[in-house]
Amino acid sequence: MTSRFSKKALSAALAALAATSALVLSACVGGDPAKPAQSNGTGSGLMTDGTLVVGMNLQYKPEMFLDDKGNPSGYDVDLLNALAANMGIKLSIKNLDFNGLIPGLQSAQFDMVSAGLGATDKRKEVISFSRGYVPYSTILGIRAGGGRGSTITDYNQKGVVITTLQGSTSEQLAPTTFPNATVTSFPDQNAALLEVASGRADAIIVEDYILAEFNRANRDALAVAKLDKPLSLYYGAWGVQKGNQALIDKLDAFICSVQKDGTLEKLYTTWMAPTMPTMPAC
């Protein structure tokens, strides 16, 4: 991926921050689902002092994924390593299905979720959120060389099939934006994309960087529908256990710090896209 910041230079810049950070990857999560979500009471906001346990779904290259050696990599992972170093603690990543992230957080299987969650009203009923750490432009993806037009109305028709990722913000956006279309949700993001690329569906509601990454691996099989504007621009946030203000305060302070010193932009332009959209002011 091209960028005005090389990954080598960025790695060097983060090395000092990551010196005290260790990464542990687990393929599943444990814990008692009946256990109430709470910190250890020491004021750290963490369930276990000295360790930040994070739930993730590592299948969204370049934001969060497993590299060729099976190690967590991407924008979120670099940012989490910097966060752990900033807090002087170890980082433990739990990798599981997207639909298990919020229930896992509620049952205290981890301290926080890093998956670019949109802070929707429905989600706020069960978990709390940090300020935004990653901007998302949600677009309508169509089969390359195809498409039904350049307006919302062109796709908001009976017989039109639109795919989304199960449990995602895109899935929540679909019924209000395209109430007349048939919306089909998939538990796997690539399955939702392939449905459109194969012609079995007309379009997909997805973040622009996910579509771009899919195209890099699939010879530009998809294109962006030429609508007047993106379907939405929102900011993904970190999710924490409901009411854990101590941890939220630490996360918000860190995000503002890396936003002001340019680290956040360097990470974004290294991993996600050449230009970072404007972030909310701290």
Question: How do residues 109-129 score in pLDDT, each as one tens digit?
Answer: 999 999 999 999 999 999 999
Task: Give the pLDDT score at 17.
Answer: 46
Whole-angstrom distance, CA of residue 247 vs CA of residue 47: 10
> Using CB atoms within 10 A of its CB, is residue 260 exposed (0-12), middle (13-18) or buried (19+)?
exposed
Does the global pTM surpass 0.85?
no
Q: Look up the CATH number of the domain holding residue 149.
A: 3.40.190.10
Residue 2 lies in a domain: no
Pair 35, 94 in one domain: yes
- The per-residue DSSP string of 146-193 comes to --S-SSHHHHSSTT-EEEEETTSHHHHHHHHH-TTSEEEEESSHHHHH
Residue 281 lies in a domain: no
Say which range, 97-101, 126-130, 186-190, 213-217, has the weakest mean pLDDT.
213-217
Pair 104, 243 in one domain: yes
Task: Give the pLDDT score at 273.
Answer: 79
Pair 210, 251 in one domain: no
Pair 67, 168 in one domain: no
Tell me the CA distances in angstroms from 194 to 6, 138, 211, 218, 223, one per residue in order.
31, 18, 11, 10, 13
> Half-sphere exposure (CA, 13 Å, Cβ side) for 73?
13
Task: Give the pLDDT score at 249.
Answer: 97
Percent of the chain scoring above 90 in pLDDT = 74
Predicted confidence (pLDDT) per residue in 125-182, tens digit: 999 999 999 998 899 999 999 899 999 999 999 999 999 999 998 999 999 999 999 9
Task: Give the pLDDT score at 33.
Answer: 36
- Helix, coil or strand: residue 234: strand
Confidence of residue 192 (pLDDT cuts 50, 70, 90): very high
Helices (H), the chain: 7-15, 75-87, 101-106, 121-124, 152-155, 169-177, 189-197, 208-217, 245-260, 263-271
Q: In terms of pLDDT, which residue wins out, 28 or 239?
A: 239
Q: What do you get for the CA distance between the two ends of the chain, in Å? A: 29
Pair 107, 164 in one domain: no
Pair 35, 165 in one domain: no
Task: Give the pLDDT score at 39.
Answer: 52
Confidence of residue 44 (pLDDT cuts 50, 70, 90): confident
Number of structural domains the chain divides into:
2
